[in-house]
């Protein structure tokens, strides 16, 4: 039971982690991405279609990332070049893409809501020979797919990118002091566009993970609001990659636990509220800490 | 993050263009999509107009569909007026709807003149309390209300789902629904057999009050001032934090009332998946209506017409009803975008 929960917690974490790291980079660049869920949804659909038509999960991932990136670009252009409010555009994207996806399913496949295709190339599992037999550790480390490994590898890469690369520094400058960044000859808007495209790529991959990694079919409710959980994760992590990953893992754990506990008297719906409630608590504690620090300084 | 969501028009011409442009762009975009999918957009739009306004019965259906949207649009607008961006009206619809339904099926036997107002009041109060935490956090600690209210939506949906699957589940009924409310708690129908009910009158009355309040009262003026420029408002002696809390509570109350009207007027109980996104559509309504009472009324009727006719055109043609969501999403995006005259200029400071 415990090994099962641990294993599925890692699986449930992967899509949230991917989208959350994208959203983190986006937020560091100065844009809070509320449209992650729509990019996940589009990625899940395109990923499944490509995995069925080409028989290659690699092409499916590339396609899913591309469609997420394009949506990210469109969303970013609305915000950076047309001065649209990012929250409204994000919510608008969620409504629009959900509608487009269902419209497309009906028009192209004549189905409503669920799409099941033949010969879907699923993500392969990587079993690690010796570790697989070690209790607990085997459940955590073995039997996962390449995308899960890539997601976790992205955590230190994101740390390194933000801390040690020129581009990461510029992105941070863009987000925290756009005027100063502009004075230095950078183009904050272009950097912000790039960070939103990246968020879209990651969310597209997260979506593909759900369709060709977890279940092997597409459903209009496949993201189950995980784009918003990702938002909760990077708010919880306060823009720090490892803390964001910890947040994603916590949510993945709740998700896995909730499925396990179903029918055992623990209401799944109440567990589902925990990640969101945690974000409110964390934001409150942070604000209290800021106020205390300010009171001391004054 | 809660910087001006709606661009402020410079002239009357610009103001008119800002209302019409998003509609034209959205309908043009959807027309293109319909054409690509093999439908004749002109026929579809004609059908939409006929199905939503062609005849008394259809107009009644449109107004019925517009009723909750007038309330959620108004709820969004009142918070927005004070500079608080409340995206949590959807959650208020859920908790308010459940509270109203609870009173309606629990205190059976009370006469309608007592039970109905009591049930409406329950929705109003619970909706208002639901916004207490984000309101206080925003006013006292500057905690971003967009995040807190967004999170509260998911909490409200899950929490009510828990209640109607467990403690409040109708005995012997299918999953996820409360018992039906007492007949005395139902909002009277205005034009049977359509579902248009007294909730419509409540919504219109509130919009009129909102208009009077904004035009004629000091609080309305102060609120607008605080929303336009919080620092200036503070300098002129207005207590902005207390104003924000008040407006968030008012916003939640109206959102809760929207849920109560939906429960007591349309559904007759609380069911899971209670709101088809009324709170989110309300944001589009408030934006398109530019926060004015008449604008909210008209925008709500537009979206009401789309959803009422969308359901029927799907029955008689093969046009997917999703075209309604597509239009709605595009209207929302285009309503906050500034075209042409600011292109390439550095406007965003944040």
Per-residue pLDDT of chain A (298 residues; tens, 9 = 90+): 788 888 989 999 999 999 999 999 999 999 999 999 999 999 999 999 999 999 999 999 999 999 999 999 999 999 998 888 898 899 999 999 999 999 999 989 988 889 999 888 888 888 888 888 888 888 888 888 999 999 999 999 999 999 999 999 999 988 888 888 888 788 888 999 999 999 999 999 999 999 999 889 999 999 988 999 999 899 888 889 999 999 999 888 888 887 777 767 778 888 888 888 888 998 899 889 888 888 887 5
Quote helix, strand, coil % in chain B, to nearest 5: 70, 0, 30
pLDDT-derived band at B341, boundaries 50, 70, 90: very low
Q: What is the interface pTM, i.e. ipTM, of the complex?
A: 0.86
Summarize pLDDT for B152-187 with one digit per residue, the tens.
999 999 999 999 988 888 777 767 888 888 888 899
Residues 201-220 of A with CB under 8 A from B: none
For residue A287, the Cα-to-chain-centroid distance in whole angstroms is 25
Q: Determine contact: B46 vs chain A, CB below 8 A.
A: no
Residue B18: closest CA among B280, B203, B292: B292
Does B280 reach chain A within 8 Å, measured CB to CB? yes
Q: Report the gap between the CA of A291 and the closest CA in chain B (Å).
A: 8
The nearest CA of chain B is from the CA of A171 a distance in Å of 14
Torsion angles phi and psi, residue B233, rounded to 5: -60, -45
Q: Cβ A283–B137 below 8 Å, yes or no? A: yes
Write the residue in B151, B338, B343 that is nearest to A280 by C-beta: B151
Q: How many Å lie between the alpha carbon of A168 and the closest alpha carbon of chain B?
A: 19
**8 Å CB contact of A84 and B333:** yes
Which residues of A fall within a CB distance of 8 Å from B41? none
Out of B85, B142, B346, whose CB is closest to A287? B142
**CB-based contact, A178 to chain B, within 8 Å:** yes
Spatial CA neighbour of B334 closest among A230, A235, A15, A74:
A74
- Residue-wise pLDDT for B101-144, tens only, equals 999 999 988 898 899 999 999 999 999 999 999 999 999 998 98
CB contact under 8 A, B333 and A231: no
Q: What are the helix (H) ranges across chain A?
A: 2-28, 36-54, 57-80, 86-104, 137-141, 146-164, 166-176, 178-183, 188-208, 226-236, 241-261, 268-297
Q: Pick from B3, B4, B341, B346: which is nearest to A183 by CA?
A: B346
Query: Within the 226-255 window of chain B, which residues sit less than 8 Å (CB to CB) from chain A?
Result: none
Residue B322 tokens read as 């999703």
CA A251 to chain centre: 12
Cα separation, B71 vs B73, in Å, equals: 5
Can you name the residues that pair with A144 across neighbouring β-strands?
A: A126
> In whole angstroms, what is the distance from residue A44 CA to residue A205 CA?
8
Q: What is the pLDDT of residues B182-236, one digit of tens each?
A: 888 899 888 888 889 999 999 999 999 999 988 777 777 777 777 777 878 887 7
Would you call A292 an interface residue with chain B, using a CB distance cutoff of 8 Å? no
pTM of structure: 0.89
Q: Which B residues 162-181 touch A at CB under 8 Å?
A: 162, 165-166
Q: Which of A83, A108, A180 to mutate to test the interface with B (most CBs of B within 10 A)?
A: A83
pLDDT of the residue at B9: 64
Q: How far is residue A273 CA from its own chain's centroid?
A: 18
The closest CB to that of B143, out of A106, A277, A284, belongs to A284
Confidence class for position B348, pLDDT limits 50, 70, 90: very low
Q: Say how far apart CA A71 and CA B141 lie, in whole Å.
A: 34
- Judged by CB atoms closer than 8 Å, whether chains meet at A267 and B166 is answered as yes
A92 vs B1, B154, B329: nearest CB: B329
Q: Is B293 exposed, middle or buried (0-12, 13-18, 19+ CB in 10 A)?
A: buried
Distance (Å) from the alpha carbon of A135 to chain B's nearest alpha carbon: 35
User: Which residue in chain B has the smallest CA separation from A84?
Assistant: B337
């Amino acid at each position: 039971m415990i090994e099962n929960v641990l294993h599925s917690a890692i699986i449930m974490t992967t899509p949230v982690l991917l989208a959350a790291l994208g959203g983190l980079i986006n937020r560091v660049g100065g844009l809070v991405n509320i449209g992650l869920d729509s990019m996940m949804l589009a990625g899940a659909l395109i990923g499944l279609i490509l995995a069925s038509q080409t028989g290659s999960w690699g092409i499916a991932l590339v396609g899913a990332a591309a469609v997420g990136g394009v949506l990210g670009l469109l969303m970013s252009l609305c915000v950076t070049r047309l001065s649209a409010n990012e929250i409204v555009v994000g919510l608008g994207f969620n409504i629009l893409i959900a509608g487009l996806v269902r419209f497309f399913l009906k028009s192209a496949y004549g189905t409503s809501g669920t799409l099941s295709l033949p010969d879907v190339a699923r993500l392969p599992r990587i079993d690690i020979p010796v570790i697989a037999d070690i209790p607990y550790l085997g459940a955590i480390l073995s039997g996962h797919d390449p995308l899960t490994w890539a997601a976790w590898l992205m955590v230190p890469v994101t740390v390194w990118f933000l801390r040690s690369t020129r581009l990461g520094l510029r992105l941070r400058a863009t987000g925290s002091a756009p005027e100063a960044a502009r004075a230095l000859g950078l183009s904050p808007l272009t950097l912000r566009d790039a960070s939103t495209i990246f968020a879209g790529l990651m969310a597209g991959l997260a979506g593909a993970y759900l369709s060709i990694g977890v279940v092997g079919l597409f459903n209009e409710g496949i993201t189950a609001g995980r784009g918003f959980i990702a938002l909760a994760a990077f708010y919880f992590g306060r823009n720090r990659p490892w803390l964001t990953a910890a947040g994603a893992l916590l949510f993945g754990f709740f998700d896995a636990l909730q499925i396990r506990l179903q029918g055992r008297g623990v209401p799944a719906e109440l567990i589902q509220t925990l990640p969101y409630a945690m974000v409110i608590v964390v934001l409150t504690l942070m604000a209290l800490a800021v106020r205390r620090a300010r009171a001391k300084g004054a | 993050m809660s910087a001006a969501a709606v661009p402020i028009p410079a002239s009357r011409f610009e103001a008119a263009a800002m209302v019409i442009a998003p509609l034209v762009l959205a309908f043009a975009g959807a027309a293109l999509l319909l054409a690509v999918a093999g439908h004749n957009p002109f026929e579809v739009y004609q059908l939409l107009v006929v199905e939503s306004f062609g005849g008394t019965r259809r107009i009644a259906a449109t107004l019925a569909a517009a009723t909750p949207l007038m309330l959620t649009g108004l709820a969004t607008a009142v918070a927005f007026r004070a500079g608080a961006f409340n995206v949590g009206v959807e959650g208020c619809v859920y908790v308010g709807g459940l509270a109203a339904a609870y009173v309606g099926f629990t205190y059976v036997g009370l006469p309608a003149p007592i039970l109905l107002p009591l049930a409406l009041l329950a929705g109003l109060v619970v909706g208002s309390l639901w916004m207490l935490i984000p309101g206080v956090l925003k006013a006292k600690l500057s905690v971003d209300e967009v995040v807190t209210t967004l999170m509260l939506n998911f909490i409200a949906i899950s929490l009510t789902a828990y209640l109607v699957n467990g403690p409040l589940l109708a005995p012997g009924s299918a999953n996820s629904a409360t018992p039906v409310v007492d007949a005395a708690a139902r909002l009277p129908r205005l034009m049977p057999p359509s579902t248009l009910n007294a909730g419509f009158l409540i919504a219109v009355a509130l919009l009129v009050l909102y208009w009077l309040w904004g035009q004629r009262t000091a609080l309305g003026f102060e609120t607008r001032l605080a929303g336009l420029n919080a620092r200036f408002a503070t300098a002129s002696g207005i207590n902005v934090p207390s104003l924000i809390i008040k407006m968030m509570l008012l916003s939640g109350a109206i959102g809760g009332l929207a849920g109560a009207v939906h429960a007591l007027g349309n559904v007759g109980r609380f069911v899971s998946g209670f709101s088809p996104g009324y709170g989110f559509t309300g944001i589009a309504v408030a934006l398109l209506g530019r926060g004015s009472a008449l604008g909210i009324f008209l925008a709500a009727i537009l979206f009401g017409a789309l959803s009422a006719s969308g359901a029927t055109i799907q029955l008689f043609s093969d046009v997917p009803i999703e075209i309604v969501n597509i239009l709605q999403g595009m209207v929302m995006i285009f309503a906050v975008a500034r075209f042409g005259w600011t292109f390439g200029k550095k406007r965003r400071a944040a």
